[in-house]
Amino acid sequence: MNGDLACAEAAISAGCRFFAGYPITPASETAERMSIRLPQVGGVYIQMEDEFASMNAVLGASWAGVKAMTATSGPGFSLMMENIGLGVMLETPCVVVNIQRAGPSTGLPTMVGQGDMMQARWGSHGSYEIIALAPSSPQDIFDLTILAFNLSEKYRVPVLVMSDEVVGHMSEKVTMPRVAPEDLIHRPRPHLGPEEYLPYKANADLVPPMAVAGEGYHFHVTGLTHDERGYPVMTAEAQDRLVRRLADKIRFNKHDIIRYKEFQVEDADIVVCAYGISVRIAQLAVRMARDEGIRAGLLQLITVWPFPEERIRELSLQAKAFIVPEINYGQIVLEVERCAGGRAKAILVPHMGGSVHSPQTILEAIREAEL
């Protein structure tokens, strides 16, 4: 099946029972699949009037105790940003899938891009942390969608699946194992009664238990700076306490969140750092470089946000250069350069969108870095 359909099936397997969205190429197949599958498992599918409303509906469904998601592409992702920020502030578990296309604006609606990677991290205003995963195949998008739901429930944060048009539309074999109940994570629930419960009093892991609307708990949620009761507190001190906790629950748990794969990096002088569909092309380029006697390796970013800073720093002590192929004009390469800290060069291999890199283009960059 193609990646869009695999994404929908994974969501069902993860326990998703609510989808709100608005049609947009190249993500519409996910919504179409969910419109068929959710009624079959007792869930709810709703097409909203736009992406702004879709994201609001997802937040509301989550507060009603349901695992919820949406899927979109670049322009819709932009419209969702305000309410993604609200989801961060309200600590609302949910999943947002972005099947990226070439931009800016309408761009090339049916063709590939990877231009939303920095928007995923910084698209909403204020200081916050987010989790974003980057699949490189239909199998990846199945596996990572389940992981996205687990991480969103565990840390009470919107989790982004940053796919791209090629992964969304390519068809490959997808193994869909039966997901055991013990493999699924559910949001922490309160152990206190309604009279003692404070909706934003965090546990030791900085994540507060989450009551469900309609179960007798009295709580208030707001996008304003708030205290443990959920009520607005308009002071710098309250802002400091809240923002630190919202960020630190991700920062302090990076070891649990960050994932990557490595191919032949043990002795690599040149490390290709890639994500999404670019991983597939980079693998071939690395093999071609090895055939020429160049010690090249590949670091596949699975978790893009939070960024795997420590691993990049470790590899910068070994490698003399990072090659970063991106279907944009340079985004993640800036993070690689920052983490390498001048110990190794960070070389962008840009591609504006509409198609993927040629392996030969990446190989040429490896050769030049080797000189």
Distance CA 88, CA 94 (A): 10
Distance CA 253, CA 312 (A): 18
Closest listed residue to residue 189, CA positions, set 204, 205, 211, 206: 211
Q: DSSP code of 328?
A: S
Q: Read off the pLDDT of residues 220-230 as tens digits, 9 standing for 90 and up.
A: 899 999 999 99
pLDDT in tens, the chain (371 residues): 999 999 999 999 999 999 999 999 999 999 999 999 999 999 999 999 999 999 999 999 999 999 999 999 999 999 999 999 999 999 999 999 999 999 999 999 999 999 999 999 999 999 999 999 999 999 999 999 999 999 999 999 999 999 999 999 999 999 999 999 999 999 999 999 999 999 999 999 999 999 998 889 987 899 999 999 999 999 999 999 999 999 999 999 999 999 999 999 999 999 999 999 999 999 999 999 999 999 999 999 999 999 999 999 999 999 999 999 999 999 999 999 999 999 999 999 999 999 999 999 999 999 999 98
- Report the relative pairing of strands 108-112 and 94-102 from DSSP bridges: antiparallel
Task: Supply the DSSP string of 165-216, one letter for each residue.
Answer: HHHHH-B-----PPPPGGG--------S-TTT--TT---TTS------TTSS
- 132 and 119 Cβ atoms separated by less than 8 Å: no
Q: Read off the pLDDT of residues 106-151 as tens digits, 9 standing for 90 and up.
A: 999 999 999 999 999 999 999 999 999 999 999 999 999 999 999 9
All structural domains of the chain, each given as residue ranges with its CATH number in brackets, are: 3-183 (3.40.50.970), 261-370 (3.40.50.920)
- 49 and 22 Cβ atoms separated by less than 8 Å: yes
Beta strands in 208-344 (DSSP E): 260-263, 270-274, 296-301, 303-305, 321-326
3-state secondary structure 234-254: CCHHHHHHHHHHHHHHHHCCH
Q: DSSP code of 232?
A: B
